[in-house]
């Protein structure tokens, strides 16, 4: 944080801000309207890992074909849910060979949209790792963490599909947003019970800095503030 040029944390504001936050709410379960959860443990694990492997690309949301009343994320989630309900999860070997057109058809998008190729590449990577490293079983992947969310994040962070890092001033900065969400979602879906979820971060979601900026915890350089205000 000390290297940051355009954003600073107002350390003096943190104490009062934290004290004023509401008590933690009970963690919600996955939304049955847009998240598959009616399968066995293997199917539910496969859905979570596949969905979180393609939980990126929000900058493209204005350009995708959204379902009525659905955000970009929930449009993608609903398409994947329908695939799992109608055809079950992809076997690891089939997932490892998934092409862009197939992904686009499942998600109801144009196959030439740039995100579809990226989604297909991410899902192929998942299929390859589940097949090669875990005998084709998504439950085996979850169980390989031996009850630790942090251990699961460490496993997924080695996969290209979950390696969320960004270079900043010559330093590689790890975020691992989607690996952490996958661990939390596997717990929420009842696939596995982790005893160290409190060690995960709040996830590097783009709404977090927005809220912290509005609430006065983040101070932005004037040019950046102007750019945001200009849309």
Residues carrying an active site annotation = 205
Q: Is 154 left (phi over 0), alpha (psi -120 to 50) or beta?
A: alpha
95: nearest Cα among 154, 188, 159: 159
Please provide residue 36's backbone torsions phi and psi, each rounded to the nearest 5 degrees. Answer: -65, 130
Q: Which of 8, 54, 11, 27 is nearest to 209 (CA)?
A: 8
Q: CA separation (Å) from 35 to 4, 159, 183?
A: 37, 24, 16
In 10 A of CB 129, how many CB atoms?
23
């Amino acid at each position: 944080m000390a290297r940051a040029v355009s954003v600073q944390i107002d350390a003096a504001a943190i104490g009062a801000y934290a004290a004023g936050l509401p008590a933690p709410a009970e963690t919600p379960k996955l939304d049955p309207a847009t998240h598959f959860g009616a399968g066995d443990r293997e199917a539910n694990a496969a859905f979570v890992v596949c969905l979180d492997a393609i939980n990126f690309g929000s900058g493209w949301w204005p350009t995708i074909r959204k379902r009525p009343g659905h955000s970009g994320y929930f449009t993608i989630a609903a398409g994947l849910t329908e695939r799992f309900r109608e055809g079950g999860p992809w076997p690891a070997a089939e997932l490892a060979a998934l092409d862009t057109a197939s992904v686009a058809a499942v998600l109801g998008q144009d196959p030439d949209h740039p995100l579809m190729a990226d989604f297909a590449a991410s899902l192929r990577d998942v299929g390859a790792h589940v097949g090669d490293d875990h005998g084709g079983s998504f439950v085996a992947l979850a169980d390989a963490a031996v009850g630790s969310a942090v251990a699961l994040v460490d496993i997924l962070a080695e996969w290209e599909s979950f390696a969320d890092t960004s270079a900043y001033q010559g330093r590689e900065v790890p975020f691992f947003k989607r690996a952490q969400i996958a661990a939390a979602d596997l717990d929420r879906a009842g696939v596995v019970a982790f005893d160290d979820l409190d060690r995960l971060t709040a996830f590097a979601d783009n709404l977090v800095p927005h809220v912290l900026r509005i609430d006065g915890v983040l101070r932005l350089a004037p040019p950046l503030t102007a750019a945001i205000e200009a849309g």
